Structure 1
Amino acid sequence: MTGAGAAAVRHYDRAIDELLRFRAEVDAESGAALAESPDFPMGNVLAAYLGLLTTEVEDARTARVRFEAFLRRIDATSLLPRERAHVAAVRVLFGGDYLTCGELLAGIAAEHPRDALALAAGHQIDFFTGDARMLRDRIGGALNAWHEDDRHFGHLLGMYAFGLEEAGHYDRSEEVGLRAVELDPRDVWGIHAVVHTYEMQGRFGEGLRYLDARMGDWSTGTFFNVHSWWHYCLYALESGDERRVLAIYDAVLADGQSCMELLDAAALLWRLHLEGSEQPERWRVLAEAWPPRMGEPFYAFNDMHAVMSYVGAGRITEAERLITGREAYVARPRPGVTNHAMTLRVGLPVCRAIVAFGRGDYEAVVELLHPIRHRVGEFGGSHAQRDAVQRTLLEAALRAGRRDVARVLVSERISVRPCSPYNWLKQASLADAIGDGAAAAVARTRARELAAGGGRIAGSPG
């Protein structure tokens, strides 16, 4: 690395350590590195990634101003090849091109597979673009350059486990994730990967026990506290424990300080809303937190959760105003801007569907969501997060009397996760709709047994 004194390098190294652990201290260490050596190229690159990957407009704007000032102060031709490659990746990311940035970071990792920053930043890019294959292979392609006794080998495994889970390799993701947590019990991304695996398999009882046993390792001290509690609530919802969900919401999620935390709150309340549990005061407070962050288009996945909040709070006009602004945004071609394509292909149809659901126009929800249900991953997030969209479609199909669509959706869900009480309750609702009371009773009984057994029916094998 060029342009850095010994103290700056020490702070940079600590910053990378904190980044991989998702701890807030990464900002302080990054700032300390630049205070020691203001024109330290990799220090400026790290600060830029930190500002850009929060999905907060103001963070990105501030990071861009600082990075451009850095570029004006230096002779870019004097940078080492890897430093130049990182600068190029940052530049395209400032331009809104997540996909090209991901490709450039993959190129860096191919040549320098032990570049933890390239791997971590690329991993986040893959998450924001919903690219399950790259979430898996970006890290998997670098692992053979790392060793068990490397300080951050476990954190690489944690990232890899999440990629395996998103790509559907659940047995392997559990194995790798548990190994990551064994190497570092406070590896919140590794814990998160295991939790996702249990969610995808419907093992909610096991998930609750896993999180309960490790609460001291994941519940405080990182950027991921709120999101981990959100996962805890998903398990509790599956078990039918709404009281516990709302208690956790009020204690942890209700005071979100970032887009990531606000979207967790919205996604949780929306699941309750779909099941007829109205929370007007909680929605009101949440809806008031979004407008300062929605002034300009930045990340379509955030737009969806803002619209959920407005609709939940009964502020339909505000939701429609946001949608109108995004329609104007996509009307103008923006080559290379990833969010433009996300908004046009997925974000706007989903937001319109949420408003239609709020208006009780369930047929419109089906017409909007059914054609895109297999490509909602294009606007980022995880399978667990995007399930809010799939649940909205299913609930709308049931309420609209679209039994053909509802049957397919329920069958798909039960075939993948036969241990989910939610899926069997939807089977019961469908049976009720076609007048099959006996089948509805059987489905509800199965749902109750699964809820009581944590995803397993007493006496069943496994």
Structure 2
Amino acid sequence: MTGAGAAAVRHYDRAIDELLHFRVEVDAEANAALAESPDFAMGNVLAAYLGLLTTEAEDARTARARFGAFRRRIDETSLLPRERAHVSAVQALLDGDFLTCGARLADITVAHPRDALALAAGHQVDFFTGDARMLRDRIGGALTAWHDDDRHFGHVLGMYAFGLEEAGHYDRSEEVGLRAVELNPRDVWGIHAVVHTYEMQGRFGDGVRYLDARTPDWSTGTFFNVHNWWHYCLYALESGDVARALAVYDAVLAGGRSCMELLDAAALLWRLHLEGSDQHERWRALAEAWPPRVAEPFYAFNDVHAVMSYVGAGRIGDAEKLIAGREAYVLEPRPGVTNRDMTLRVGLPVCRALVAFGRGDHAGVVDLLYPIRHRVNEFGGSHAQRDVVQRTLLESALRGGRREVARVLVSERIGVRPCSPYNWLKQAALADALGDRAAAATARLRAGELAGGRSPENAIVGPPE
């Protein structure tokens, strides 16, 4: 706590608690700590992480200027080793090097497994880089240093549950996530981990019931309100209840302003777009919110959802302009800048595929997405979020007559999630394309049974009720 007075330490402690709860008050507490002690090392570190991990370019610029001024003011040799290690991790992040930042935070965790900030910041870095193994093992490697009566043990379990889910350990993820929420009912990340687990298992009924039973705990007062509502909408779409999903969209998602909230909105509308429901007015409003957020390259995952929005709104020219800017960006040498590699390897192919889909060039979509389908994790997000890319590939394979590719993709999906109505509807569409009416009817019947008697095909494809 070098450079901190007693009041600053109290604010910092509260800020860490707010951070682990994903509550909006974290910013106020972090700023209050620095108002009390401007050269408080860990206070400046925390403020920098908060600015850099929003994926907002403007926040990053502010963090870069503020942290640079802090480093120029102090004698870093006066800092303790762990403080210097955090400063080094922040600097890597400021330089655009997510991977080095994550590695330095992992080193801190080896020496100090109970450093909650190192765990939380590292966990978010792993999420933004799509590293499922580290999402699991960064937290798992620290877990035995924590105890049941630790104030934030539940939050550590919540992070671990999400890592387990992303790494495919669904039974264990559910068990750990439920325990995290039992310890702290307002742990929105723990709730989010359980919700992801149900999504990956195709247990959309369990997911809706889980969220309904805990609505006051996750629906207000945190940075994650909109995202958890997005998960609620995914469950509604899986059951064929488009009206419910759109009602939530209009009440919650349509008002989003951060990149994270805008991309949730785009990902939901694109799922409808893939099924023939265009939602032009909703797309138009969403597309208008993106330009200032993607005016400069910062995070490829955001770029993809901006392009989604432009294509959905019929603004192909804006989508192509963004792509041209990113093509120029990746041509410049940027050693160690993680986003450049993300953009080059995944972001640009996906953006180009979205434009191709908008133009009806389904062969082009398949040619762009099929070769990268097993590494789309490289540009971040979760399995549930990246599924929109896989669905785009599948839809174009069906529409473009690439039946062998479509068969492989549908077979993979049903093998992993046999209780998904969507997967069986795509099996039906493939059977129709092959002229097998009996198999198509059987698949549609299975989809209807899984959706609880609702006709998911009609509900998903048709206009909002």
Residue 335 of structure 2 aligns to a residue whose secondary structure is coil
Whether the 8 Å CA contact 1:349–1:369 is kept in 2: the answer is yes
1:211 equivalent in alignment to 2:211: yes
Residue 126 of structure 2 aligns to a residue whose secondary structure is helix
* Residue 332 (structure 1) shift: 1.2
**Corresponding residue for 1:175?**
175
**Corresponding residue for 2:459?**
none
Residue 186 of structure 2 aligns to a residue whose secondary structure is coil
- Matches of 1:81 and 1:11, distance apart in 2: 22
**Corresponding residue for 1:90?**
90
**Corresponding residue for 2:402?**
402
CA distances 1:329-377 after superposition (whole Å, capped 9, x unpaired): 0011211000000000000000000000000000000000000000000
**Corresponding residue for 1:335?**
335
Query: What amino acid is aligned across from residue 207 of structure 2 in structure 1?
Result: G
**Corresponding residue for 1:458?**
none
**Corresponding residue for 2:435?**
435
> Equivalences for 1:248-267 in 2 at 5 Å?
248-267=248-267
Residue 87 of structure 1 aligns to a residue whose secondary structure is helix
CA distances 1:13-70 after superposition (whole Å, capped 9, x unpaired): 0000000000000000000000000000000000000000000000000011011011
**Corresponding residue for 2:144?**
144
Residue 54 of structure 1 aligns to a residue whose secondary structure is coil
1:2 equivalent in alignment to 2:13: no
- Matches of 1:295 and 1:229, distance apart in 2: 27
Whether the 8 Å CA contact 1:158–1:177 is kept in 2: the answer is yes
* Residue 453 (structure 1) shift: 6.6
**Corresponding residue for 1:239?**
239
Query: What amino acid is aligned across from residue 154 of structure 1 in structure 2?
Result: G
- Matches of 2:78 and 2:38, distance apart in 1: 16
- Matches of 2:48 and 2:294, distance apart in 1: 21
- Matches of 1:159 and 1:257, distance apart in 2: 25
1:196 equivalent in alignment to 2:196: yes
**Corresponding residue for 2:457?**
none
* Residue 295 (structure 1) shift: 1.0
**Corresponding residue for 1:163?**
163
Whether the 8 Å CA contact 1:366–1:396 is kept in 2: the answer is yes
Whether the 8 Å CA contact 1:205–1:453 is kept in 2: the answer is no
Whether the 8 Å CA contact 1:166–1:383 is kept in 2: the answer is yes
1:110 equivalent in alignment to 2:110: yes
* Residue 183 (structure 1) shift: 0.1
**Corresponding residue for 1:362?**
362
CA distances 1:301-332 after superposition (whole Å, capped 9, x unpaired): 00000000000000000000000000000011
- Sequence identity of aligned pairs in percent? 84
Residue 252 of structure 2 aligns to a residue whose secondary structure is helix
**Corresponding residue for 2:421?**
421
- Matches of 2:319 and 2:274, distance apart in 1: 18
Residue 130 of structure 2 aligns to a residue whose secondary structure is coil
- How does the TM-score come out when normalised to structure 2? 0.97
Query: What amino acid is aligned across from residue 143 of structure 1 in structure 2?
Result: L
Aligned residues between the structures:
454
Residue 452 of structure 1 aligns to a residue whose secondary structure is coil
CA distances 1:422-449 after superposition (whole Å, capped 9, x unpaired): 0000000000001001100000000000
Query: What amino acid is aligned across from residue 354 of structure 1 in structure 2?
Result: L
CA distances 1:117-158 after superposition (whole Å, capped 9, x unpaired): 000000000000000000000000001110000000000000
Query: What amino acid is aligned across from residue 40 of structure 1 in structure 2?
Result: F
Query: What amino acid is aligned across from residue 50 of structure 1 in structure 2?
Result: L
**Corresponding residue for 1:460?**
none
* Residue 77 (structure 1) shift: 1.0
Query: What amino acid is aligned across from residue 150 of structure 1 in structure 2?
Result: D
Superposition CA RMSD, Å: 0.7
**Corresponding residue for 1:61?**
61
Query: What amino acid is aligned across from residue 101 of structure 2 in structure 1?
Result: C
CA distances 1:215-271 after superposition (whole Å, capped 9, x unpaired): 010000100000000000000000000000110000000011200000000000000
- Matches of 2:373 and 2:38, distance apart in 1: 47
**Corresponding residue for 2:46?**
46
**Corresponding residue for 1:350?**
350
- Matches of 1:322 and 1:49, distance apart in 2: 27
1:318 equivalent in alignment to 2:318: yes
CA distances 1:58-92 after superposition (whole Å, capped 9, x unpaired): 00000110110111110011110000000000101
Whether the 8 Å CA contact 1:113–1:145 is kept in 2: the answer is yes
**Corresponding residue for 1:226?**
226
Residue 255 of structure 2 aligns to a residue whose secondary structure is coil
5+ long unaligned stretches in structure 1: 455-462
- How does the TM-score come out when normalised to structure 1? 0.98
- Matches of 2:202 and 2:109, distance apart in 1: 34
- Matches of 2:406 and 2:96, distance apart in 1: 37
- Matches of 1:31 and 1:95, distance apart in 2: 23
Residue 305 of structure 1 aligns to a residue whose secondary structure is helix
* Residue 281 (structure 1) shift: 0.3
- Structure 1: 4+ residue segments shifted above 2 A: none
- Matches of 1:283 and 1:89, distance apart in 2: 38
- Matches of 2:426 and 2:132, distance apart in 1: 28
- Matches of 1:295 and 1:193, distance apart in 2: 32
- Matches of 2:317 and 2:257, distance apart in 1: 25
- Matches of 2:362 and 2:351, distance apart in 1: 14
Whether the 8 Å CA contact 1:237–1:245 is kept in 2: the answer is yes
**Corresponding residue for 2:382?**
382
5+ long unaligned stretches in structure 2: 455-465
- Matches of 1:268 and 1:404, distance apart in 2: 28
